[in-house]
Every structure is written in structure tokens, then in C-alpha cells.
Chains A and B, each alone.
Chain A
Amino acid sequence: EAGVTQFPSHSVIEKGQTVTLRCDPISGHDNLYWYRRVMGKEIKFLLHFVKESKQDESGMPNNRFLAERTGGTYSTLKVQPAELEDSGVYFCASSLGGSGRGYEQYFGPGTRLTVT
């Protein structure tokens, strides 16, 4: 079974440009999450999808970040326009849902975003 995949693995952009990150969850996982780690800090939650619906957006830092999950499959996270403080590693995770072990989250390898 394929794990969570993310693309690209690394992106370097200039301040003011736009970047789109993609996440493909484990097949059959209804829950999809975005997290990020900025330099020297803990991994922080950004948002949670259940299928195509945003369940929790409480961690989104501002309106320069837009996440979508069309059709309840893969998800994209767009940053527009990018700022220097957006640099960090963006992780995607998925979980099956339901109860008990269905809440175990499986993480992708991350996308390292560098804004110069």
C-alpha cells in the first residue's frame, strides 16, 4: 500500500511569488491534514479535511494560504504571495477515520519550502 506522497519535495521561490504544494493521501483515507514546521519550532497544525470539506481551519496563519481538496482525493496548499516567514517544511498526513486506530495519522515526507 502506498503511503502519503507529497510534491514537490523541495521548492525555492522568491518573496511575492506563488507556490502550490500537493498531497496525495493513503487511498481510502477520508481525513487529510496539513501541518508545518518553521525553523526551530514545533510541528504545528494548519487544517483538516474530511473528504472534500474543511473540518478545522484554525491553524491557517492568514489569508495568503488556501487549501483545497477537490473530490475528496488529493489536496493542494497554495501560498500567495509567499513571504519570508513562510519558509519551513510542510507536512501532509492522512487517517482512515471512524474510531480508535482510525485516528492514527500517517505522514508524508514533507515539502521543504524556501522563500528568498
Chain B
Amino acid sequence: KQEVTQIPAALSVPEGENLVLNCSFTDSAIYNLQWFRQDPGKGLTSLLLIQSSQREQTSGRLNASLDKSSGRSTLYIAASQPGDSATYLCAVRNMEYGNKLVFGAGTILRVKS
């Protein structure tokens, strides 16, 4: 059974800081991994999708890495801004379990101005 853990559960940083969010998963036989952002009361916005064959993906100030063999992914946010404040969710898809995503509990990020 796949389990996804995200550390830290909450993070508060001053504006401009670079930060790293961590995601780990117990079953390394994943097909892909998605990072999402959720604003309060809103749906999930897909940030990055990393295929199992890839090591990293970049979008603007965001960079996600994947170490499949060790069951880890990190989301790096450069030069954080108050608008980055949200909950960040990591989710993995295993071929064995069909197309469903298994989610972590999320990291609540607050960027202070």
C-alpha cells in the first residue's frame, strides 16, 4: 500500500527566502508524481508533473526533483513571495494501483512580507 508523507507540515518564512518542501513515498514503483497548490477554499492547481524516468522539472521559480529509488521528491521555491502562501500537496501514481493519485497531507506555507 502506497503511503505519502510530507515534511514539514507547516512552514513560515520571510519574503525572498528560498525554501524546500519534502515528499516521501513508501512504494518506489511509481509512474509519476504531481505537485499541487491549494489556496484556501479553492481547488487544486497542478504545478509540476514528473514522470518516473525524469529527475526534475522546472516551471518559473519552481523546481521539483525526483529520486525514485529512495522514494523522495523535493519542491524548491526560489525567492519566495507572499503570493506563494498556500498548501502544497504531493501525490503519486503507481501503475499497480491504476490511475489514482495517492496524496500526502500537505505542507502549509506562509510567506511573510
Q: Which residues of A contact B (CB under 8 A)?
A: 4, 6, 31, 33, 35, 41-45, 48, 55-56, 58-59, 91, 93, 95, 100-101, 103-110
Contacts and interface: CB of A to CB of B under 8 A. Distances in A.
A44 B103 contact: yes
B46 A104 contact: yes
A6 B42 CA distance: 12
Given A107-B43, A107-B44, A48 B99 contact: yes
B105 A103 contact: no
A31 B99 contact: yes
Which DSSP category, helix, strand, loop or mixed, fits chain B's interface? strand
Interface string B59-75: 00000000000000000
Given A42-B104, A42-B105, A108 B46 contact: no
B28 interface: no
B101 A45 contact: yes
A93 B36 CA distance: 13
B100 A48 contact: yes
A92 to B, nearest CB: 9
12 contacts: A31-B99, A42-B4, A42-B104, A43-B44, A43-B91, A43-B103, A48-B98, A55-B98, A103-B49, A107-B44, A108-B43, A109-B43
B89 A43 contact: yes
Contacts of B46: 104-107
B71 to A, nearest CB: 17
A91 B46 CA distance: 14
B51 interface: yes
Nearest 9 CB-CB pairings of A with B? A109-B43, A45-B100, A107-B44, A43-B103, A56-B98, A104-B49, A107-B43, A42-B103, A42-B105
B43 A103 contact: no
A42 B43 CA distance: 14
A51 B110 CA distance: 39
B32 interface: yes
Interface in B4-63: 4, 31-32, 34, 36, 42-46, 49, 51
